A = this chain, B = another copy of it.
Amino acid sequence: MSGPISRRVTIKDVAEAAGVGVATVSRVLSGGSASAETRERVLAAAARLDYRPSALGRNLRRQRTGGIGLLVPDVTDTFYARLVDGVLSCARSYGEPVTVGVTGDDPEREAELIGTLIEHSMDRVIAVPSGDGETWAPALRSGLNLVFADRRVRADVPSVVADDRSGVLTAVEYLVGLGHRRIAFLARHGQSQRVAAFTGALAALGLPADPELVVHARASRDSAYAAAAGLLQHRPDVTAVLAGGNVLGEAAVLAARELDVRIPRDVSLVMFDDVPWAELCSPPLTVIAQPAQDIGYRAAELVFRQGRRPPTVTLPTELVVRASCGPRR
C-alpha cells in the first residue's frame, strides 16, 4: 500500500480524482445541491481515497470549533463523573468532541481554563462554576454559548440544577418526623442554595435557627473530614446530620467511625447524592438522589439547541430511605 506515513488527503485531491472543482466537492459533502451524476462521482472518489474533511480547515473558515468545552470541579467525584458522562453521551449523538477541564473549585484555575477554551474558539461551554460567576463575564461578552450545570450563580446564564429546595425540605421533614430537633448541615463552600434551603426548611417546620449548625468545608477530602469530625466532637447535642455531597457524607461516616459515634443509633445521617457505595456502606445510607447524568445530558442539549432557552431547568430529587436514620436517641 502507501508508505508508513502518508500525506493527508485533502478536498483538492478528491476534486481532482472526481474531475470537478473543490467547491463542488464541498457542496456535495455538506448536502448542497448537485446533479445526481456529479454527486455520485464525488462520493465515489471520496470513498476511494478514504477522504476525511479536516476539522481544522472547516473550523477556521467557520470561525468556531464544533466541539464543546466542559469544566467540572473534580472528575474523581462520582457525582461529577456521572455529570460528565451525561454530557458525553449527548455530545456523542451529535458527533461532537468534548474537551474536559478540571477546576478544582478554584476560580483562578477556572479563569485559566476559560482562557484556553476561548483560545481554541470553543463557542459552546458547559460548566459547574466555581466562584460567584464573575470569572465568566469577559467570556460571556465575547458571545460564548454557555450553560451552567449543578449550580446557578448568574441569572443571565441558563442553568440546569437539581431541585435543592425540595430535596433538602424532604430530608429535613423526614428527620423531624423521626423526632430530631437539632439537625446539622455539612456544606461545601459555595453551596449557598442548599444552605438557604436548609435554613428555610428549618424555619418552615418551626425549628430554631442555630447558625453554628451549618458547617462549611472546602472541596477536599481532608477538609471535609476535619469539618465532620469537628462537628461530631463539639456538638454532641446534634442528633442528625445532613451532608451536602458524597465526599462530605463519606467524611461523616469515617469521622463517626473514628470517634465511635454509631450511625444511626447515636446520630442519623442523610447524604446528598446517591452513589453506588451508599448501598454497600455500613449502614446503608439514606440519600437524596440527584439525577447527575441527566443534569449533564440536559445541559448538553441546551448548549446544542441554542434557540430561545429557558433560564433554568430544575430536575427533581428523590429521598431514598435506607438504614442510616433512626429515631432521636
Spell out A's residues near B (CB within 8 Å): 2, 4-6, 8, 52-57, 59-60, 63, 65, 67, 74-76, 78, 81-82, 84-85, 88-89, 92, 95, 97-102, 115-121, 141-143, 221, 250, 253-254, 275-277, 279-283
Report whether A85 and B75 are in contact in the complex, using a CB–CB cutoff of 8 Å: yes
* Min C-beta distance of A99 to chain B, whole Å: 5
In the complex, the answer to whether B82 meets A102 with C-beta atoms within 8 Å is no
Across-interface contacts of A88 in B (CB, < 8 A): 75, 100-102
This chain: copies in complex: 2
Q: Are A143 and B5 in contact (CB under 8 A)?
A: yes
Residue from the list B53, B102, B120, B282 in contact with A85, Cβ < 8 A: B102
Cα distance A67–B120 when bound, in Å?
Answer: 10
In the complex, chain B residues whose CB is within 8 Å of the CB of A85: 74-76, 102
Pick 25 A–B contacts, CB within 8 A, sort by A.
A5-B143, A6-B141, A6-B142, A54-B119, A54-B121, A56-B56, A56-B120, A56-B121, A74-B85, A75-B84, A76-B81, A78-B81, A84-B100, A88-B100, A88-B101, A95-B116, A97-B101, A98-B100, A98-B101, A221-B276, A250-B276, A254-B279, A276-B277, A277-B280, A281-B281
Complex CA gap A8/B117 in Å reads 14
Q: A56-B120, A97-B99 are in contact. List 11 more A-B contacts (CB 8 A).
A: A4-B143, A52-B118, A54-B119, A54-B121, A56-B56, A67-B120, A75-B84, A75-B85, A84-B100, A275-B277, A280-B281
